[in-house]
Amino acid sequence: MTARTDSAGQPWWHGAAIYQIYPRSFQDSNGDGVGDLAGIAARLDHVAALGVDAIWISPFFTSPMRDFGYDVSDYCDVDPVFGTLADFDALIARAHELGLKVSIDQVYAHTSDLHPWFTQSRAGRNGPHADWYVWADPKADGTPPNNWQSVFGGPAWTWDARRGQYYMHTFLKEQPQLNVHNRDVQDALLGVARFWLDRGVDGFRLDALNHSMHDPRLRNNPPAPDTGRVRTRPFDFQIKRYSQSHPGVVAFIERIRALCDEYGAIHTVAEVGGDKAIAEMQAYTRGNRRLNSAYGFDLLYAPELTAEVAAAAMARWGDGKGWPSWAFENHDAPRAVSRWCRAEDMAPFARVKAALLASLRGNIIVYQGEELGLEQDDIPFELLKDPEAIANWPLTLSRDGARTPMPWQDEALGGFTSGEPWLPLSPANLARAVAAQEGQPRSLLHFTRAVLALRKGNAALRHGGLEHIAADGAVLSFERVWRGERIRCLFNLSGEANATPSLPGHEVLLAVNGADATTLPAWSALLARV
């Protein structure tokens, strides 16, 4: 295993580059068309060669897969489609051999409706699991207890005749909400965390953590103001004041941190979205008794990547405000090269985007295939698997388009499987396959390795503070500072050339797409020690 601290004396996770793996789509080892844990282990050489510090594996637990693993029916086992616990142990061992830490998702806001806890809870209003979920009586007219709406459309309440009550679900009706106010539920979830810590995991991403506690008084959410943005779901018409983000989440977080501290340098990162996401992320990570980092959506879901948008997002996490985790892509967000630039600009844009990610203060997360410049695939309705996209077709962009299989070879099945892949591989992304880029020294794959090596080898970029953030038209600039070292970072986030302040005589660490000391061409970047 790698050391708990690095040469700068910081914890291994501080400033780490983390590679997200979506197991269904990384590598299929048995020909059933679905990726698995053995496939991940077989491809870890590729991940290690990128120069990242850790991997984050999206859910692989036992599940009916109504929401592709985020509906857990057994927290302490592997779903057969992904393999076995022995496969997971082998994956951990291989990762540690390669110097990679391993983080996994933990889903504490809800379970599957097939989880034994829920089966017992819905059986009646008495018993040890009766109040492990959020149950409520109907109004006098039989309608749900309040106006809360689910993310996937319709009320956040489903009637259950066995109890004669409604149960809450923020997402699918097959994902009943856990009552994390209940201390016994917290103890059970901490037992799950301990199970995986004992198997050698090095960190947790805590999914939808601010959804884990609700207002016990079940007050109605107020309406959200109409901002002119297209609203495709009833969920978008409310301020989620009472259905999530109860202050009690913080005390539960402190229990999670205390458990992880028993195991040493375990990295904890919260996924937090919603109307007050920044304030909650900073509350969840404040001091030394809460989580290490928080993973938000400022840039992940930004409609465009401009200097102004990036500068504002970075400024919200200035020194002393916590340690963020940044991502431009993931399994829920469309591919950035398809969102943020024209098709003809994808190649240069992917390079400047990679350079910016590697320069940010905080941890950075690279989503599988981002190092290849994969674009968003257009999945026809008849092939969709994403329940949100199916429910809101055609106004919600399918998450499936960012979940298509990883192309290892530029051939029909991409080297991903010998069977029928669970989602199709597009010709455009097959042309960007790992094997195709390995033989091209100027490819995005090689460039990504270079910028990650620059970050890892430079304490100012990995651990440093953040100063002089500015957006001047299309040019984003800031400085990373660490123990007397100062690095000036300049990014032209447009398709037009821009003049820049002269930097003669300074050591250039990175010049992207033709940048130099006087000019930033279209989609370019310059990093220099000043």
Could you give the residue numbers annotated as active site? 207, 262
Q: State how beta strands 363-367 and 17-21 pair.
A: parallel
Q: Is the peptide bond before 394 cis (omega within 30 degrees of 0)?
A: yes
Of 155, 116, 114, 108, which is closest to residue 136 (Cα–Cα)?
Answer: 155
Pseudo-torsion of CA 505, 511, 514, 520, nearest 10°?
Answer: -70
> Residue 199 is which amino acid?
R
User: Distance between CA atoms of 369 and 403, rounded to whole angstroms?
Assistant: 10
Q: What is the DSSP string of 327-378?
A: ES-BTTB--HHHHSS-GGGHHHHHHHHHHHHHHSSSEEEEETTGGGTPPPP-
The token duo for 428 is: 């455009």
Q: b or e along 439-457 (b: 16 or more beta carbons within 10 Å of the residue's beta carbon)?
A: eeeebbbebbbebbebbbe
End-to-end alpha carbon distance in the chain: 36
| Helical residues (DSSP H) of 210-276, grouped into ranges | 249-261
The token duo for 521 is: 């061409």
The token duo for 394 is: 């055609």
Residue with tokens 């340690």: 323
Q: Which parts of 127-248 are beta strand (E)? A: 135-136, 157-160, 165-168, 203-207
User: Distance between CA atoms of 129 and 410, rounded to whole angstroms?
Assistant: 51
Q: Using an 8 Å Cβ cutoff, are 246 and 215 in contact?
A: yes
Other CB atoms within 10 A of residue 81 CB: 19
Measured in degrees and rounded to the nearest 5, phi and psi for residue 209 equal -65, -35
State CA 4 to chain mean position distance.
23
User: Distance between CA atoms of 58 and 68, rounded to whole angstroms?
Assistant: 10
Q: Which parts of 1-69 are beta strand (E)? A: 17-21, 54-57, 61-62
Q: Using an 8 Å Cβ cutoff, are 158 and 169 in contact?
A: yes
Pseudo-torsion of CA 429, 431, 437, 439, nearest 10°?
Answer: 160
Q: State how beta strands 54-57 and 519-520 pair.
A: unpaired
User: Distance between CA atoms of 527 and 321, rounded to whole angstroms?
Assistant: 25
Other CB atoms within 10 A of residue 130 CB: 16
Q: Using an 8 Å Cβ cutoff, are 19 and 56 in contact?
A: yes
